[in-house]
Structure 1
Amino acid sequence: MPLAKTTIDKTLLTANLFDGFWDRWIVHGVEKQDIETLRSSYLTKDIWVDGWRKLADKKFLEAEKLAQNDSFTEAEMKFRAAGLYYQLMQWLIPERKTEKIGWLNVSLSAFEKADKLSQIKTKYVQLPIGEQHCFGRLRIPDEPAGVVIIINPLDSTKEELFTYELDFISKGYIVVSFDGPGQGQTFTFEGLRGTTKRWEAFIDDVIDFSSNTFPNLPINLFGTSSGAAWALYGSCNPKVNKTVAVSPAFIGEAITLPDYFVERTRFVLKEEKALPAFELLPFRNPVMLFHGKQDVMVSDSNIYHLYEQLPQGKRLVEYEEEGHCCNYKLAEIREKSMKWFATEKEV
């Protein structure tokens, strides 16, 4: 396993040199101006942590003032923004240590304050995986139209994708979102690292949990990147209605991933790649695939071959200008997904 300092240095080098590094954070709610402010200095670990802490603290204080003035909706969003900025601090640190645990707890506290202000009910749950637990959150609107299980990409926490959650609950969907093996609280608090077998068990158990908790509602899956790969695995479950997979990661894809990312995964995975083999999956339920034609991590040919394997009711949407995860089309993708979830399954 690499030294954490080496991994942090490679992450910071990428953040300094490549604009594309920031796309994920921008579409998840980090303001471009704040990124530009931080990048005006050469990023070291201290500059990163101090910079994001100051920006997060500022948003947190603004949220408290808004709440005191009964501006609860604005306060909720500001607390979530603060929580996202605190996420950036824990995210930089790849290993389970006091510093990472501390910043994750600060981030979770900000999200909890937002949850308490929200008109949508929130429940925090734990799912046993062997001797350990995966940590999850449920958002439960009144008169729900169905359930969406968000399957997060390996390098993300469930809290980072809060805009996905907000979009789905705005249209009446219950959202189920867990940190799987190697993610968020599950890795940082429990030390549970990812393997293919653990992820298979995790996906099966989350689907069972959702079906048992909300027995009369259709269960839909939504995932991006490695989360999309595991959503495709989950689509084979008879309890699932429909699945959306955005830029699914392929186990055999001949690509060179960024050094910092490869090193980060070694801290959270017990295998080189914890992904399902699509050619072995017994697909049975409708899948909607989204693919960016500029994706350097997922080839057109692999997407088209996968699409041929999929059963009745499948869809493929491509974006000419988008890369991996179709970042700048994600809001549109979620909108399309919800409309598709609401239509009848083709038999």
Structure 2
Amino acid sequence: MPQTYETIHPKEPPLGSRGPLLRVENLTVDFHTYAGVVQAVRGVSFELGYGETLAVVGESGSGKSVTAQAILGLLPRPPAQIRSGRILFGGRNLLELGEREWENVRGREIAMVFQDPMTALNPTMTIGRQIAEGFQKHTGAGAREAEEWAVELLRLVGIPQPEVRVRQYPHEFSGGMRQRVVIAIALAARPKLIIADEPTTALDVTIQAQILELLMELKTRFGTSLILITHDLGVVARVADRVLVMYAGEGVEWGTTEEVFAETRHPYTWGLLNSLPRLDKDRREPLVSIPGSPPNLLKPPSGCAFHPRCPFAMEICRQASPPEYRFSPTHGARCFLHHPAAPRIAPAIQGGGQA
């Protein structure tokens, strides 16, 4: 009789009483290149609770993927250098681990769903062997038990005829099915945290929706926490509990999904929301875009990194980095518009709030 997820891995009780599952504090990551030092992540901090979904949002180059790779210990050193900060996972600082300790964390405690499933899979190994490999390593299971678990996982992620498919190779699967396989591999050893780095980018719109629904269904079923890296705010509104908005390697706004969408506090977040197409708008109206381009992180702008593109920038924004302003225990932003002496700004935001 095939094993099931519950028989191989009985559920653990929630551990929320022990504080957040993940806490990132003042993470700073540089890359040393021939052109100079790229300041890829600059003092990012956030928390993730047990069973929660955190969406990390921002343009390309904002530091989202580098932050995720730092959490999983995947940054090549050199050229990467973690200059400061702590990554506390279950109270343990992951930045203090040696490579052998990391091998016990990756897959078993934290797993990753990569952006391109074709490059994430080994073309020379069967799908079943790739799923079973991590499960055997972390649980000591035998080959037969691991294959039964691989078949069960393929069934759980919606692959038809899993008993046949388990012996096939990646090139025999469609793009959407390969992404389902990558999700199965991530779930194999029942990690407490899954990081999904833009998992639907290479897929068509219909398959994107199916993959997101699958991720959320499995997250709920297995009690797993999820970090979803995306640039799609429509996805964020549907699936996330918390949101971290990143710009130029910094966290510029964070909070619950409701707070960030309904009480938007940073001009960059306003710009992202206004750039979304809406069904209730006149189709002849052009989409509103954020002017300019993201900064060169070899030489980030002085002061607030967003000031060259911000329509509300003041002189202080060019001179000093904005401090953290708190609006609730969970909601905050870095913007001088919230200083008591700043002018009151209330831009029209599509479905958003005010400064």
Higher helix share: 1
Whose relative contact order is higher, 1 or 2, with alpha carbons under 8 Å and at least 6 apart?
A: 2
TM-score, normalised relative to structure 2: 0.30
Instruction: Tell which structure's C-alpha radius of gyration is larger.
Output: 2
TM-score, normalised by the number of residues in structure 1: 0.31
